[in-house]
Structures are given as structure tokens and as C-alpha cells.
Amino acid sequence: MALPLPKRVQLRDGQEALIRTLSENDLPSWCAMINACSEETLWRRFERRAKKAILAEALRFCSPNAQEFVLVAEVQGQMAGEARLCLIPEAQAAEFCVLVADPWQGVGLGSLLTDLALAWADEHGINRILVEVVPENLRILHILRSRGFRFREGAGQILWGERLSPRV
Ligand SMILES: CC(C)(COP(=O)(O)OP(=O)(O)OC[C@H]1O[C@@H](n2cnc3c(N)ncnc32)[C@H](O)[C@@H]1OP(=O)(O)O)[C@@H](O)C(=O)NCCC(=O)NCCS
């Protein structure tokens, strides 16, 4: 999956998505995206179900900084999903997470955001991508395993995943 960004792509249902980096003006759309998520989706991404608690941290999530690379997807002007790499420069590593709000799940957006984030990481010399997944999250396990992630059990039944860059 090729960069650069912004990028327009067609989803499996025929809709067009615009993929771009997060900007500081995205706070209202980001909150609307969280409001469109079910408790289950929030649990799988944030390991928390309470919308209110996540929205209380919205400003932090929407303040891009040098330690993060955040991609967002817009469909018909609404923010539908994001992929986030939190960089750990001293280890040439990054923690990955991805979210697609419920109305847009299942049409390829999560896979696409994942591919673009991994391509960005490979282009920026990141050797290890780390991820935490709840074991019942078969959808993300399928996506990540098919992209080279290996998983092992961590504390509290969380699965820890790791992908080494093709360069390593
Ligand atoms: C996980 C998530 C990001 C996936 O995004 P999405 O846009 O819904 O997923 P896609 O349509 O791109 O792809 C889904 C893939 O999972 C597969 N899948 C769906 N249900 C599955 C299941 N129960 N078991 C295994 N694979 C499954 C689909 O077949 C598809 O794979 P394919 O393209 O090889 O056919 C999204 O559902 C989401 O945000 N979930 C809640 C938050 C979350 O889990 N975040 C990840 C934590 S890091």
C-alpha cells in the first residue's frame, strides 16, 4: 500500500474514503467518530467502554506531536476511522492501534489504515511494531496475523503482538 498522503481510495461498498494525517482542527470530527462507536468497539480499542471517559481525553488524542503518527479516514465528510503509531524512538519501535467506527466497519477501512500505517513505519526506519489486543478480537487478529504479526499471551489475558520490519 503506497504513500504519500492525502490519498483517495475506494472501499468494498463503493464509497470513497479520504486518508490523511490528523490535524489539530479534527477535534469535533474525532469526538463525533467516538460517539458513533459501540461500547464493544471502544472496549476493543481503548480497553474502556465509557464514552465519557474517552471523550474527556479527546484533546490529547487530537493534538498531533512528534512522538505520534496518526492517519484518519473520512467518508462523506465524516471521520470514520484512525490508525495511530506511538513512537518509541530509542527502540526504533512503535505501538500500533486502529479504530473504525461501527457504521463503517467491514468494508476494508481497518485493513487499509493498517497497511498505510505499516508502510509509513517501514519508510521511517521503525523496526518493531507492537500491539495489544483482547483475545476475542478475531477481526484485528486476522488482519494483523496476515501482515506478519506474531502474538503471545500477556498479563490479564491480553495478547501482545509484534511485527518486525522486513528489513530486520
Ligand atoms: C478491527 C477493525 C479496526 C477492523 O476494521 P474493519 O474496517 O472493520 O475491517 P476490514 O473490513 O478492513 O477487514 C476485516 C477482516 O477481518 C475478517 N474478519 C471479520 N470477522 C472475522 C472473524 N470473526 N474472525 C476472523 N476474521 C474476521 C474479514 O474477513 C476481513 O478480512 P479479509 O479482508 O482478509 O477478508 C474494526 O473492526 C474496529 O475498529 N474494531 C474495534 C476496535 C479494534 O478492535 N481495534 C483494534 C485494536 S488495536
Run means of pLDDT, 10 residues per run, the chain, 168 residues: 88 97 96 98 95 97 94 98 96 97 98 97 95 96 98 92 90
Choose which residue among 99, 102, 107, 139 to substitute to test ligand 1 binding: the one with the highest number of ligand atoms within 8 A of its C-beta. Answer: 139
Rounded to 10 deg, the angle between the 109-123 and 138-145 helix axes is 40
Q: Are 68 and 85 in contact (CB under 8 A)?
A: yes
pLDDT tens per residue across span 135-148: 999 999 999 999 99
pTM of the model: 0.97
Q: What domain range is 21 assigned to?
A: 7-128
Determine the distance separating the centroid of ligand 1 and the alpha carbon of 125, expressed in angstroms: 27
Residues in contact with ligand 1 (CB, 6 Å cut-off):
41, 44-45, 97-100, 105-111, 131, 133, 137-140, 142-143
Q: How far is the CA of 90 from the centre of ligand 1 (A)?
A: 31
Strands (DSSP E) along 13-105, which ranges? 16-21, 68-75, 78-88, 93-100
Q: Is residue 140 part of a domain?
A: no
Q: What is the CA radius of gyration of the chain?
A: 15
Residue 119 covered by a domain: yes
Does the residue 158 lie in any domain?
Answer: no
Burial code (b: 16+ CB inside 10 Å, e: under 16) for 71-106 equals bbbbbeeebbbbbbbebeeeeebbebbbbbbeebbe
For position 42, which CATH number holds? 3.40.630.30
In a domain, 161, yes or no: no
In this structure, what C-alpha cell is assigned to residue 19? Answer: 486518508
What phi and psi, each to the nearest 5 degrees, are found at residue 97? Answer: -150, 155
C-alpha cell at 158: 491480553
Local structure of 109: helix, strand or coil: helix
- 161 CA from centroid of ligand 1 (Å): 16
3-state secondary structure of 141: helix
Q: Is 76 among the domain residues?
A: yes
| 106-138 pLDDT per residue, tens | 999 999 999 999 999 999 999 999 999 999 999
Count structural domains, the chain. Answer: 1
How far does residue 80's CA lie from ligand 1's centre (Å)? 14
Phi, psi of 11 (to 5 degrees): -85, 170
DSSP code at position 128: E
Q: How far apart (Å, rounded) are the C-alpha atoms in residues 168 and 166?
A: 6
In a domain, 165, yes or no: no
3-state class (DSSP) for residue 153: strand
Give me the percent of the chain exceeding a pLDDT of 90.
90
Q: Is residue 37 part of a domain?
A: yes
Residue 155 lies in a domain: no
